[in-house]
């Protein structure tokens, strides 16, 4: 068993930024990188909305730079996955996938969220080649093109509306005969001449030579199933995200989806000394720059907590 002053779990923009701030506060943070070192951004292409990079930067490169900065300031970054926790009392216990038991005075949870996919083999085949789960990240590449968004909730409607400002034509693929999104979002989508909603429709597969060129769809009608192909250049998933909070329950309070509940603008959880930053606690924005900002806040709160001046 090893004791750590400040343990950061997760290595996306929130985790790295927390680490950078924690190092500068002399907290000697230890970071557990998790399943996907660098987080969701490592799977996207060019990031054009992270300030400081006027030409844009590859998501993977941006995370590498953050990692180097965190490491050069003194973060002890470990290739390990937190698999279990006991946060019933301080010091808090965390177990990793290599059976190491750690105790920590304070913890910053920055484990992110994972976009849900339909589970089609073709989603993996064309990932980054026309398949994306983030319109804000990748929409720019579809200027003047035809795209499809899957989902009928607020995210799908928002993404379809956003993409309609760039793409020539947007299809919204909805499995039910209605949208689940809020009234205002529904009206925005249904009144947008560039968006065509395909109700009662599901995706069976994707096709294309090296890049998505279309989707195999099935429409469930009263007369039976109608299978057809739809030409598209981009396929966007917007069927929800799953926050990576499972191992912190039942200790840490979450909402019904699993997002960690924090106290207003402060990244405090219901457990003293346990903070949550980034997408795991953010059902609304889910942007790298927002996650980085919350990581900074979490480290500043951890510093105050460890010094006993957090009141």
* Catalytic machinery residues: 134, 137-138
When binding is defined by CB under 6 A, the residue of 150, 167, 189, 300 that contacts ligand NDP is 150
In angstroms, the CA 217 to CA 1 distance is 53
Residue nearest to ligand NDP (CB): 153
Among positions 166-185, residues that touch ligand NDP (CB under 6 A) are 175-176, 180
Token pair 């996306």 is found at: 12
At closest approach, how far in Å is the CB of 154 from ligand NDP?
4
Distance, in Å, from the CA atom of 280 to the CA atom of 217, rounded to the nearest integer, reads 33
Q: In terms of C-beta distances under 8 Å and separation of at least 24 residues, what long-range contacts does 85-89 make, across chains too? A: 85/247, 85/248, 85/251, 86/251, 87/248, 87/251, 87/252, 87/271, 87/274, 88/251
For the CB of residue 310, give the shortest distance to ligand NDP in the complex, in Å.
30
Q: In the numeric block, which tokens belong to residue 206?
A: 């994707």
Q: Is residue 158 a contact point for ligand NDP (CB under 6 A)? A: yes
Phi, psi (5° rounding) for residue 288? -60, -40
Under rule CB under 6 A, residue 279 binds ligand NDP:
no
Smallest gap from Cβ 256 to ligand NDP, in A, equals 9
Q: Which of residues 223-252 bind ligand NDP (CB under 6 A)?
A: 239-240
CB of 36 to ligand NDP, least distance (A): 20
**Shortest CB 153 distance to ligand NDP, Å:** 2
Shortest Å, Cβ 128 to ligand NDP: 21
Helices (H), ranges, the chain: 13-24, 59-72, 121-125, 135-138, 154-164, 183-190, 288-307
The piece of 46-54, 146-154, 248-256, 296-304 that touches ligand NDP (CB under 6 A) is 146-154
- Which residues from 73-112 bind ligand NDP, rule CB under 6 A? none
Task: Give the residue with the Cβ less far from ligand NDP, 64 or 154.
Answer: 154
Choice from 11, 44, 111, 155 touching ligand NDP (CB under 6 A): 155
Among 25, 73, 81, 118, binds ligand NDP (CB under 6 A): 118
Is residue 283 part of the contact set for ligand NDP (CB under 6 A)? Answer: yes
Choice from 107, 149, 156, 268 touching ligand NDP (CB under 6 A): 156
209 preceded by a cis bond (ω within 30 of 0): no
CA gap 139, 213 in Å, rounded: 16
Beta strands in the chain (DSSP E): 2-9, 30-32, 46-47, 57-58, 76-78, 82-86, 92-96, 101-109, 113-115, 131-132, 146-150, 169-173, 195-198, 201-207, 214-221, 224-231, 234-237, 241-243, 274-276
- For residue 295, state whether it binds ligand NDP (rule: CB under 6 A): no
Query: Which residues bind to ligand NDP, rule: CB under 6 A?
Result: 118, 150-156, 158, 175-176, 180, 239-240, 283
């Amino acid at each position: 068993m090893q004791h750590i002053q400040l343990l950061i779990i997760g290595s996306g923009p929130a985790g790295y930024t927390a680490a950078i701030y924690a190092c500068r506060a002399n907290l000697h943070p230890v970071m557990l990188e998790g399943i996907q070192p660098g987080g969701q951004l490592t799977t996207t292409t060019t990031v054009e909305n992270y300030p400081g990079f006027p030409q844009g930067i590859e998501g993977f490169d941006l995370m590498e730079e953050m990692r180097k900065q965190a490491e050069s300031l003194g973060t002890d970054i470990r290739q390990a996955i937190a698999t279990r926790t006991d946060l019933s009392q301080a010091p808090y216990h965390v177990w990793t996938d290599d059976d190491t038991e750690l105790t920590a005075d304070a913890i910053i949870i920055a484990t992110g969220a994972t976009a849900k996919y339909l589970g089609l083999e073709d989603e993996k085949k064309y990932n980054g080649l026309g398949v994306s789960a983030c319109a804000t990240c990748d929409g720019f590449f579809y200027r003047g093109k035809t795209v499809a968004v899957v989902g009928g909730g607020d995210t799908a409607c928002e993404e379809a509306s956003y993409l309609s400002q760039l793409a020539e034509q947007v299809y919204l693929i909805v499995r039910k005969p209605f949208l689940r999104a809020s009234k205002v979002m529904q009206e925005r989508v249904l009144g947008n001449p560039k968006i065509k909603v395909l109700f009662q429709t599901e995706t069976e597969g994707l096709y294309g030579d090296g890049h998505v060129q279309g989707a195999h769809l099935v429409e469930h009608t009263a007369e039976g199933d109608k299978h057809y192909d739809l030409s598209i250049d981009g396929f966007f998933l917007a069927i929800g995200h799953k926050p990576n909070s499972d191992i912190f329950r039942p200790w840490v309070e979450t909402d019904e989806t699993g997002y960690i509940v924090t106290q207003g603008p402060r990244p405090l959880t219901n457990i003293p000394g346990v903070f949550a930053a980034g997408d795991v606690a953010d059902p609304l924005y889910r942007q790298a720059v927002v996650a980085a900002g919350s990581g900074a806040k979490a480290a500043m709160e951890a510093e105050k907590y460890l010094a006993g001046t957090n009141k």
